[in-house]
Amino acid sequence: MNSLKEIYLDLHRHPELSGQEERTAGVVAGALTAAGYEVRQGLGGFGVTGVLRNGDGPTVWLRADMDALPVREETGLDYASTVTAVNDDGETVPVAHACGHDMHTTALIGAAAQLSATVDEWSGTVVAVFQPAEEDLSGAMAMVDGGLLDAVPHPDVVLGQHVAPGPAGMVFYHPGYTLAASDALQIRLFGRGGHGSRPETTVDPILMAAAVILRLQGIVGREVAATDQVVVSVGVVEAGTKSNIIPDEATLKLSVRTFDLTVREKVLAAITRIVRAEAMASGADREPEITTLYNGPATLNDDAALERVVAAFQAAFDGRVMEVPPGSGSEDFGRLGAAAGAPSVYWFLGGADPALFAPPADLFEVLAEIPSNHSPEYAPVIEPTLTMGVAALVTAARAWLAP
């Protein structure tokens, strides 16, 4: 098998969009087969599982996601991606591992190999779960719907990690809700088009969209408590074809992040109310359309399971384990444990150059300045990120696997 660094460089140079992870799945399947795992492919699209049975004991699922983003990489690295692909809308887009899923995949390949090489030190069953389509929050449920629970042994715990822009060589965690729920919405606003010189004969959907965008931020500022963490971000605004034509419609796509279910329902209801009210105020002839593109639940760490993992981390990585606030990003990792009825633990892996955080630098000031996940400039340093990623997965798994 190639070295882990070679695997990482290969995956980084060959990113694949959500639902298109065929090549990556092949690399994973080959590595798991070489490590002695029972391999199954094609679960929920290009999902891959590897099972290693080693006597009596608990069953541990270790999960990594494999997909990349429609981002043009601007890291300047000599192994930067130059890949393009056709997305679901038929558009050719640049593709890059701007969220670090190539690091997750490589670390789990390494952890699977290390556990296979040390079977005389533990007993139980290891299940490596390589998930497609995390970026649109569909892959975990697709694997479940595709027969995951019947394909592999039932877990006693589900473990996962995500690389983040903290110091490489450290692991970070948060008890309870550690990542937000996510709702991606599309809003179509319908106006009445016409000549730009005669706006009085039209209903301008662009003006309507602008009013909606501004008013949506009032939800965060005025409709939820300051202690309730909510993010509402409009990421796409589409309307018009020419400067002197008022179009018939405008489309917004937005992301909503919440932690509390009651707050989530309140925010979604407020969005619907505001969109409909602005359409009415503008004199629109047609009701707006609000569509959920995808959504995912908040990521919840089981208290007892997290305590067990953190104790193992502190014993193995003395001084390199840190509790942090919850993040407003989102994951579909929690759907695996929920579907299996098993506790889940999810932690973060530092991926930035440790030298950036050397005293007297302030951790959070540095984090505010360096590229983060989804940035065209984001890429973790390979080491010590990769070594720690492998060690964290193995350490967490061994906290369950009987000695």
Q: What order do you get walking across the sheet with 181-190 strand by strand?
A: 230-239, 249-258, 181-190, 289-296
Contact between residue 382 and residue 8 where contact means Cβ atoms under 8 Å apart = yes
Is 377 catalytic? The answer is no
> CA–CA separation, 193 vs 250, rounded Å?
11
Q: Are 389 and 163 in contact (CB under 8 A)?
A: yes
| Numbered residues of the known binding site for Mn(2+) | 99, 101, 135, 162
**Residue 270, CB half-sphere, CA atoms under 13 Å: how many?**
20
Which amino acid is it at 247?
A: P
Cα–Cα distance for residue pair 241/191, rounded to 1 Å: 15
**For residue 155, which phi and psi values (nearest 5 degrees)?**
-85, 150
Give, in degrees to the nearest 5, the angle at Cα 13 between 8 and 14. 100
The answer to whether 11 touches 23, Cβ cutoff 8 Å, is no
Residue 49 near residue 40 (C-beta atoms within 8 A): yes
d(CA 7, CA 300): 31
307 CB contacts (<8 Å, ≥6 apart)? Answer: none
Burial class (CB in 10 A: 0-12, 13-18, 19+), 206: middle
**Binding positions:** 99, 101, 135, 162
Helix (DSSP H) and strand (DSSP E) numbers for the chain: 11, 18
Catalytic, out of 121, 294, 331, 377: 294
Phi-psi group of 374: left, alpha or beta (phi > 0 → left; psi -120 to 50 → alpha; rest → beta): left
Query: 128: part of which helix (H) or strand (E)?
Result: strand 124-131
Could you tell me which of 124, 60, 66, 68 has the C-alpha nearest to residue 305? 60
Any catalytic annotation for residue 294?
yes
Residue 25 sits at φ, ψ, to 5 deg, of -60, -35
d(CA 383, CA 388): 8
Q: Which residues are catalytic?
A: 294, 383
